[in-house]
Amino acid sequence: MEEYDLTIIGGGPIGIFAASYANLRSLKVQLIESLEQLGGQITALYPHKNILDVAGYPAVEGEQLVKNLVAQLQQFKTTVKLATLVTDITNPAPNEFIITTNRGISKSKAVIMATGKGRFEPRRLPFDGTLTPAIQKHIHYALNQPAIFQGKRVLVAGGGDSAVDLALQVNALAKQTYLVHRRDQFRALEHSVAQLKASTIIKTVPYLIDSITQAADGSLAVTLKKLRTDETQVIVVDEIIISYGFISENKMLQAWSVNVAQDPKTLNVLVNQELMTNVAGLFAIGDVSQYQGKTDLIATGFGEGPLAVNAAVRGFAPNQRGPIHSSSLKIANGEIEK
């Protein structure tokens, strides 16, 4: 049976970085990802979105961030298993986990779950299924091919971070962008809301999409209904982007033999300050983990990786010294001396 010091389940941004860091601690690590590519939500849902809140980047396109994370990992010899779904984990003895996947079994001294929110899919327009294929062709749930929107009239629906970011990004290409939201306020980063206010995007609030029809020239007439009134208005556009968020479910853990404590409502995994679950040697980082004040951000997860890796090493090799950067720096009288 293959044996590893550390197994990381989930090749999203947080799992990839944790695997790189584990290599810096000279661990024998395997990274297991159920999809055929690395990158998690970024690759699957928003490869072309500009991410603004990752340290060191004024702005970075999702795809580029994943490329950089993979390049960082490729500096080391790491076992990366793609298209491999973890179906069970057992913990027969301390510092011993047996990981079962659809492709085989391996052994690991510690395990880090970086499995995100589980299976996810975009929340669709409630009447999406009743629309003709010709209309559906112009309804998008992600910004996969930005070039489609060049010189077009585009309606973006939604009011969260992603909707505002998408509208701003599309507006740089489109002839005219409309942003339709069912509330008066947009729930995005204040910086993005300020950019939205200053932009040429036409904001229509509080409205919901009521129906969509197609004219002979292919354009879409979108009827919007003002909330709690009978007032309607029609906007004619070429493309529609729906950004109503995502539905996800993290039920797979319940089928695993290890009994991991989850929040009954969110199904996120409960962890302590070391990102350890209720099972010694089993950690959870990134979107799957939950503790007081947790925020599902890439930046947060990047910090959690090293914490979990170092705690894992302390668990199975307690005599190994932990890493301290600049150990030669000493603070004397409030001044840093080398």
Ligand X SMILES: Cc1cc2nc3c(=O)[nH]c(=O)nc-3n(C[C@H](O)[C@H](O)[C@H](O)COP(=O)(O)OP(=O)(O)OC[C@H]3O[C@@H](n4cnc5c(N)ncnc54)[C@H](O)[C@@H]3O)c2cc1C
46 is in an annotated binding site: yes
Among 28, 67, 72, 85, binds ligand X (CB under 6 A): 85
Stretch that binds ligand X, among 36-44, 64-72, 176-184, 206-214 (CB under 6 A): 36-44
Residue 158 is a binding residue for ligand X (CB under 6 A):
no
Give the shortest CB-157-to-ligand X separation in angstroms: 14
How many C-beta atoms lie closer than 10 Å to residue 299's C-beta?
Answer: 12
Q: Quick one: 50 or 235, whose CB is closer to ligand X? A: 50
Residue 30 is a binding residue for ligand X (CB under 6 A):
no
Q: What is the number of alpha carbons within 13 Å of residue 283 lying toward its C-beta?
A: 32
β-pair type (2-9, 104-113) = parallel
Question: To 10 degrees, the CA torsion angle through 162, 164, 170, 172?
Answer: -130
Peptide linkage before 206 cis (omega within 30 of 0): yes
Among 33, 61, 238, 239, binds ligand X (CB under 6 A): 33
86 is in an annotated binding site: yes
Q: Quick one: 13 or 235, whose CB is closer to ligand X? A: 13
> Rounded CA gap, 170 and 143, in Å?
9
Stretch that binds ligand X, among 12-20, 175-183, 202-210, 273-281 (CB under 6 A): 12-20
Residue 13 is a binding residue for ligand X (CB under 6 A):
yes
Q: Report 93-132 residues binding ligand X (CB under 6 A).
A: 114-117
Q: Quick one: 81 or 109, whose CB is closer to ligand X? A: 81
Stretch that binds ligand X, among 8-16, 143-151, 221-229, 273-281 (CB under 6 A): 8-16
Residue 305 is a binding residue for ligand X (CB under 6 A):
no
33 is in an annotated binding site: yes
Tokens of 91: 């913990």
Residue 32 is a binding residue for ligand X (CB under 6 A):
yes
Q: Quick one: 235 or 244, whose CB is closer to ligand X? A: 244
Asked if 283 and 265 touch (Cβ cutoff 8 Å), the reply is: no
Residue 246 is a binding residue for ligand X (CB under 6 A):
yes
Integer-rounded Cα Rg, in Å, for the chain is 23
Q: Quick one: 101 or 214, whose CB is closer to ligand X? A: 101
SS (H, E, C) 246-281: EEEECCHHHHCCCCCCECCCCCCEECCCCCECCCCC
What is the per-residue DSSP string for 60-124? EEHHHHHHHHHHHHHTS--EEE-S--EEEEEEEETTEEEEEETTEEEEEEEEEE--TTSEEEEPP
Burial class (CB in 10 A: 0-12, 13-18, 19+), 291: middle
Q: Quick one: 53 or 274, whose CB is closer to ligand X? A: 53
162 is in an annotated binding site: no
Q: What is the binding site for ligand X (CB under 6 A)?
A: 9-15, 32-35, 40-42, 45-46, 49, 51, 53, 85-86, 114-117, 162, 246, 252, 286-287, 296-299, 301
